[in-house]
Structure formats: structure tokens, C-alpha cells
Amino acid sequence: MINVLTYISRISVSNNCLFAGFMLFSFWAWNIICAPDIFSWNFSFMLLNMGQLVYIIYQRRPVKFDPELEEAYQTLFHPFKVQ
């Protein structure tokens, strides 16, 4: 369990660093050297990385069930130790 959490946190840290790097490089390409091709590549990579970050954060959310489903599980499946 700890290995999985460490792996996920490493991915999110590396994605955050990549996101910041692509954002700064896009800013540099647009404002400093005025190169639309470099800007477009880095901006698209930044958007893809942002989408991956959103997906990772979405996966890390806790799963909650309705109280009715929890009650059905407790009465029907929990006595038989079904998980």
C-alpha cells in the first residue's frame, strides 16, 4: 500500500514539475523569441500533462457509497465475508 502511494505521489510531483516547465517554456517561446511552433508544441504538451494530472487526482479521490448500498452490503454480503 505504501509503495502504491509513493508511486502515485512521485508521478504527481513529476507531472507538476513537467507542467511548470512546459508552461515556462511556452511563455518563453511566445514572449521572448516569438516562435509559434515551439509555443504550440510546448503548450500542447502542457495541456496533455494537465489532463493527466486531473486524471490522477480524480483516481485518488475516496470512493463513497450511498447509505442504502452500505446497508445492503452489511446485511447480505458481510456475514459471508465477501469483499
Which residue shows C-alpha cell 502515485?
Answer: 8
Q: Pick left, alpha or beta for residue 61 (phi over 0 → left; psi -120 to 50 → alpha; otherwise beta).
A: beta
Q: How confident is the model at residue 4 (pLDDT cuts 50, 70, 90)?
A: low
22-74 tens-digit pLDDT: 999 999 999 998 899 999 999 999 999 989 888 888 887 778 888 898 888 88
Q: How many CB atoms lie within 10 A of CB 29?
A: 19
Q: Can you read off the three cell numbers belonging to residue 56?
A: 490522477
CB of 83 closer than 8 Å to CB of 35: no
Instruction: Report the pLDDT value the prediction gives residue 1, as an integer from 0 to 100.
Output: 47
